[in-house]
Amino acid sequence: MSLEITFLGTGAAFPSPARGASALVLRREGQCWLFDCGEGTQTQLMRSHLRAGRITKIFITHLHGDHIFGLPGLLCTLSLQSSPDSSSKAPLDIFGPLGLRSFLQRSLELSHSQLLFPYAVHELVPTPDQCPPQEFRDFSGWDSGDGSPGRVLCLAPGEDSYLLLEDEQVEVRAFRLFHRVPSFGFVLEEKLRPGRLNVQKLKDLGVQPGPLYGKLKSGTEIVLESGAVISPQDVLEPPVPGRKVCVLGDCSAPLGDTALRLCRGADLLVHEATLGDRDSPGDTDTRDSDTGDTRDNDVTQLRRQAEAVLDGQQVILAEDFMTIEIPLKKGQLTTEIPLKK
């Protein structure tokens, strides 16, 4: 089962011809999940090997424009390309901070745009400590109450993360980050999957391919005509560990130790790095000097800084249209992540 990430925009708030505003796609099981949707994401999708029509879920890390200004346009294009029976399809799920529903509703309403497919906005309610006090805005009263579907997700008592999705194969959670506006990280974690049947062993035991294989695979013991009992652990290989991918929104720090706990052991963690240590936002002399604009020309300093704090772990500088595959595990952690362009 393939799992890969393709970067569509790595220029954040400083897009250029070579780097679009923030967006990436995680592809798994034939579905595309879009993380952030900066301006121009729809044309970046067209230039990539991905199909926008395959997007079934969208995750927005925070409400800064370089992460959301492409969303109304993308949705309108998807609507123009949708089939006449789209209204009966499952809604497109969009997850993001409180205020996202209002942004979308107002953008679509003011531009007289009507989407031909259903969508649901699931809003995460941030806590005031996710940004400087003067930046915190309460958007809870902004909802126009048009009855469109979607949940409002608050932190559950005793929990420090938001459960967004869970099925038999995968779980997706959001966790809080500190930024100039409330920002979130997302972690997708596959569940442990049963190991493969040892077919040779089954043959040796006289079990023929058929329904009995399915029973064993599902964890049920079987009794042969001879009276012999075979339990799943006799013929199943060790379970396969799931993969874990983390996508962090802009942040200067995580909140509490939850992010660390959730991201521990990740196969891939995507971290924004628009500005290096030499390029603090107030330091325009450095940013504009001929020492180089790190955002395009000297990104290697970002790698050095990341490597310095990551204690020898592999660091990859993302580029637009770079795809990273996360291979299936075989009971052990992979050490190198393959790239394909």
Nearest approach in angstroms of CB 243 to Zn ion is 27
Considering the complex, state which of residue 250 and residue 267 has its C-beta at the smaller distance from Zn ion. 250
**Cβ distance 246 to 269 under 8 Å?**
yes
Nearer to Zn ion, 72 or 182 (CB): 182
Tokens of 115: 């989407």
Cα separation, 262 vs 273, in Å, equals 20
Would you state the structure tokens that stand for residue 285, as one six-digit string? 């002399």
Q: Please, which residue, 123 or 250, has the CB nearer to Zn ion?
A: 250
Token pair 């194969």 is found at 169
Contact region for Zn ion (CB under 5 A) — 49-57, 64-72, 123-131, 231-239?
A: 64-72
Residue 66 appears among annotated catalytic residues? yes
As measured in angstroms, the least distance from the Cβ of 62 to Zn ion is 6
Residues binding Zn ion: number (CB under 5 A): 2
Q: Closer to Zn ion by CB, 65 or 331: give it.
A: 65
Q: Could you tell me the smallest distance in angstroms from the CB atom of residue 241 to Zn ion?
A: 33
Identify whether the C-beta of residue 162 lies closer than 8 Å to the C-beta of residue 173: yes
Residue 97 or 242 having the CB closest to Zn ion: 97
- Of the candidate spans 22-30, 224-232, 245-253, 314-322, the one that interacts with Zn ion by CB under 5 A turns out to be 245-253
> If we measure between CA atoms, which residue out of 21, 33, 32, 74 comes closest to residue 186?
33
Closest contact distance (angstroms) between CB of 250 and Zn ion is 4
> Binding to Zn ion by residue 250, rule CB under 5 A?
yes
**Cβ distance to Zn ion smaller for residue 57 or 64:** 64
Q: In this structure, how many other beta carbons lie within 10 angstroms of the beta carbon of residue 115?
A: 18
Q: Enter the tokens of residue 110.
A: 């003011």
3-class SS of residue 96: strand
From the candidates 66, 250, 279, 320, which is the catalytic residue? 66
* Cα(63)–Cα(126) distance, integer angstroms: 12
Judged by CB, which is closer to Zn ion: 44, or 130?
A: 130
Give the range of 62-70, 99-107, 143-151, 210-218 binding Zn ion by CB under 5 A: 62-70
- State the minimum distance, in angstroms, from the CB of residue 210 to Zn ion: 56
Residue with tokens 């030499």: 278
244 in contact with Zn ion (CB under 5 A): no
Using the 8-state DSSP alphabet, how is residue 329 labeled? P
DSSP assignment of 8-53 equals EE--TTS--SSSPSSEEEEEETTEEEEE---TTHHHHHHHSS--GG
Query: Torsions phi, psi of 113, nearest 5?
Result: -105, 135
The one segment of 29-37, 58-66, 286-294, 314-322 that binds Zn ion by CB under 5 A: 58-66
The tokens for 136 are: 């915190």
Tokens of 127: 């806590």
Q: Write down the residue that tokens 């952690």 correspond to.
A: 333
Span of 61-69, 222-230, 292-300, 327-335 interacting with Zn ion by CB under 5 A: 61-69
Cβ–Cβ under 8 Å, residues 6 and 24: yes
**Of the candidates 64, 243, 244, 295, which one interacts with Zn ion according to CB under 5 A?**
64
Give how far Cα 84 sits from Cα of 31, 54, 148, Å: 21, 17, 20
Among all residues, which ones are annotated catalytic? Answer: 66
**Chain residues that interact with Zn ion, rule: CB under 5 A:** 64, 250
